[in-house]
């Protein structure tokens, strides 16, 4: 297996290993995480899908290993959040020249909610939106066109606007076992040797 290549499937230029196409040091992506885009060039994920991600904030997008990100998923960062502590939502500091403000005040135009952190083995559905400051736990599933405004626990399915829990993927004891096993950190050889058990849901065979 070659996790250093851009396109994991022969003849498929719509699917990429994401860590091979991002260049921004504030976007950190684990091995084997893939992005599929049948509308735009998937290699332009950084431009088309990571929005309002300005260097002045230093905020980060952190995505774990073995995640599946569907076409059109968006990650909206802090600069999309006009300040709610101001008496006006108009971003006066952005137009510092027009209003005689200091350039250093630009970041006062928006509220800072923090990084976006996506765990391992997370599936993000078609055109889902993840907002700044959200953490999504390992194994979670984000439904199509969901808007995620709050943290999502591990192995939880969420959907809707705003996204709300639908159900857990597994019983609590299975979730605890999976979080302890952290199979995504295994060697390629060990994962390959246990693929049948992983795909058929036989956790007893990999414990």
Q: What is the pLDDT of residues 67-103, one digit of tens each?
A: 999 999 999 999 888 989 899 999 999 999 999 999 8
Q: How confident is the model at residue 1 (pLDDT cuts 50, 70, 90)?
A: low
Q: 134 and 59 in one domain?
A: yes
Q: Are 163 and 188 within one domain? A: no
pLDDT mean over 171-178:
96
pLDDT at 2: 58
In a domain, 137, yes or no: yes
Could you tell me which residue, 85 or 143, shows the higher pLDDT?
143
Q: Tell me which of 53, 82, 112, 194 is the catalytic residue.
A: 82
On whether both 50 and 108 belong to a single domain, the answer is yes
| pLDDT for residue 205 | 87
Rounded Cα distance, 172 and 186, in Å: 22
Does residue 52 sit in the same domain as residue 120?
yes
What is the average pLDDT across 146-168?
A: 98
Is 5 a domain residue? no
Residue 4 lies in a domain: no
Q: Are 26 and 99 part of one and the same domain?
A: yes
Looking only at the bridges linking them, the beta strands covering 50-51 and 74-76 are parallel
Q: Are strands 15-17 and 50-51 parallel, antiparallel or unpaired?
A: unpaired
Residue 26 sits in the same domain as residue 69: yes
pLDDT at 107: 85
Question: Are 177 and 138 in contact, with CB atoms under 8 Å apart?
Answer: no
Whether residue 50 lies inside any domain: the answer is: yes
Is 194 noted as a catalytic residue in this protein? no
161 in the same domain as 108: yes
Tokens 């060697």 found at = 187
What domain range includes position 198?
Answer: 170-207
Confidence (pLDDT) at 64: 98
- Taking the CA atoms of residue 16, residue 60, residue 108 and residue 113 in that order, the dihedral angle to the nearest 10 degrees is 100
Question: What's the chain's Rg over C-alpha atoms?
Answer: 19
In a domain, 8, yes or no: no
Is 188 part of any domain? yes
Residues 29 and 80 both lie in one domain: yes
- Number of structural domains found in the chain: 2
Q: What is the pLDDT of residues 18-39, one digit of tens each?
A: 999 999 999 999 999 999 999 9
Structure confidence at residue 142 (pLDDT): 98
Asked, for residue 2, whether it belongs to a domain, the answer is no
pLDDT tops 70 at residue 3: no
pLDDT for 108: 86
162 and 133 part of one domain: yes
Q: Please tell me what DSSP assigns to residue 130.
A: E
**Co-location of 114 and 182 in the same domain:** no
pLDDT tens figures, 92-133: 999 999 999 998 888 888 888 999 999 999 999 999 999 999
Cross-strand bridge partners of residue 129: 74, 147
- Asked whether the predicted pLDDT for residue 4 surpasses 90, the reply is no
Residue 10 domain-assigned (yes or no): no
Asked whether the beta carbons of 28 and 63 are under 8 A apart, the reply is: yes
Across the chain, mean pLDDT equals 94
pTM of the model: 0.93
């Amino acid at each position: 297996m070659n996790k250093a290549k851009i396109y994991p499937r022969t003849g498929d230029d719509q699917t990429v290993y994401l860590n091979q196409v991002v260049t921004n040091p504030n976007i950190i992506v684990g091995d084997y995480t893939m992005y599929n885009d049948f509308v735009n060039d998937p290699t332009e994920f950084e431009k088309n899908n990571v929005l309002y991600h300005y260097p002045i904030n230093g905020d980060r997008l952190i995505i774990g290993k073995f995640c599946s990100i569907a076409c059109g998923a968006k990650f909206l960062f802090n600069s999309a959040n006009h300040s709610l502590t101001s008496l006006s939502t108009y971003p006066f500091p952005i137009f510092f020249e027009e209003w005689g403000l200091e350039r250093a005040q630009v970041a006062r135009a928006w509220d800072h909610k923090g990084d976006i952190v996506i765990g391992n083995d997370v599936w993000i559905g078609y055109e889902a939106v993840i907002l700044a400051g959200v953490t999504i736990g390992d194994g979670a599933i984000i439904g199509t066109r969901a808007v995620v405004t709050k943290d999502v626990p591990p192995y939880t399915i969420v959907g809707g606007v705003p996204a709300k829990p639908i159900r857990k993927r597994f019983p609590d004891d299975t979730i605890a076992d999976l979080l302890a096993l952290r199979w995504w950190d295994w060697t390629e050889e060990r994962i390959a040797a246990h693929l049948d058990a992983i795909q058929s849901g036989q956790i007893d065979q990999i414990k």
